[in-house]
Amino acid sequence: MKTVQRSPEPFFYPGGKTGILLLHGFTGTPSELRPMGQYFKDRGYTVHAPLLAGHGTSPEEMERTGWRDWWQSAVDAYDRMRAEPLEKLYVAGLSMGGCLSLALAAQKPVDGVIPMCAPIYIRDRRAFLARVVAPFYRYKKRSSHRDPHIEAHLCPYDRTPVRCVAELTRLIRHVKSQLAEVKVPALIVQAGKDELILEKSADYIYEHISSTDKEISWYERSTHIITVDRERNELFKEIEQFILERSS
C-alpha cells in the first residue's frame, strides 16, 4: 500500500513563471491539496498552499477565528505569490477555499480561477441556524468518516466549532455579493456525489460571475473532497489544460 504524506503544514514549491495558489476547505488543511500540489510541482509550476487561520491546530483555536481571518490568510498567500517573478497566477480552492478563490478573483488581479465544490448551497440546512444556536451549542462532533482512500489524506478535527459554521455562512453571503466582479476565465468544478453541498452551487456560480470564458466540469464519481478522490488525476489534467490554453 502506498504511504500517504499526511501533514497539516502549508507548502510552497518554487518553479516556473506560472503560479498556482491552492486554498483548502473549512476545517481542512493543505494535506487535502498535497497530491494536486505535487502534480503541478512535477510539471514545473510554482505552487503554494497556505494553512488558513485557525486550521490545523485545535477546535479551540479555530473557534477564535472567523471568515475575515480566513480571508486574510488567503490575501497573505496571494501577496506571497505576487512576490515571486511570475508571469501568470491562477487561484484554485476546494470547498470553502473555492469561495475564497472566487473572492480573490473578484478583488485581486489573477489570470484564472478554479473553484472546486465551492458551497453556495449547503446540503445540511441546519448550518444556516448556527448563528442562532452557537451561544448554546459550542461544538458539533464529527459524525462521519469518508472512504479510506480519502481519509488517508485528511487531518480533521474531531469536532467543529458551531460559531465557525455561522462564520462560513457569512463568508458564503459575502462571496455571493462579489460574484459579479469575477471577470477572469473560470473552470467551475463540481463533484457529482458531493455529500456536503448541493450541486446547484456550481450552476449559481456559473450564472452569477461576469466571466465570458467559463465552464462547469462535472466529476460524476467523486465526492466532496475531490482533490483526493478517485477521479483526481483526470481533474489535475483538466486544470492543467485549462491553464495551458490560457497561458500561451
Q: How far apart are CA 210 and CA 121, in angstroms?
A: 20
Known active-site residue 149: no
Cell of 125: 440546512
Q: How far apart are CA 32 and CA 154, in angstroms?
A: 6
Q: From the candidates 194, 201, 222, 229, which is the catalytic residue?
A: 194
Q: From the candidates 24, 48, 55, 95, which is the catalytic residue?
A: 95
Q: Tell me how far CA of residue 73 lies from CA of 49, 66, 80, 149, 189, in angstroms.
A: 11, 11, 11, 28, 23
Known active-site residue 111: no
26 marked ligand binding residue: yes
CA 157 to chain centre: 17
Q: Yes or no: say if 99 and 119 are a contact pair by the CB < 8 Å rule.
A: yes
81 marked ligand binding residue: no
Q: How far apart are CA 111 and CA 90, in angstroms?
A: 5
Known active-site residue 101: no
Element (H, E) at 59: helix 59-63
Q: Yes or no: say if 175 and 99 are a contact pair by the CB < 8 Å rule.
A: yes
Q: Tell me how far CA of residue 108 lies from CA of 133, 135, 202, 245, in angstroms.
A: 35, 35, 22, 21
Q: Mind giving me the DSSP string for 110-177?
A: -SEEEEES--SSBSSGGGGGHHHHTTT--EEE------HHHHTT----SEEEHHHHHHHHHHHHHHHH
Q: From the candidates 48, 55, 153, 224, which is the catalytic residue?
A: 224
| Residues classed as catalytic | 95, 194, 224
Which amino acids are annotated as binding site, given as ranges?
26, 96
Which amino acids are annotated as binding site for substrate, given as ranges?
26, 96
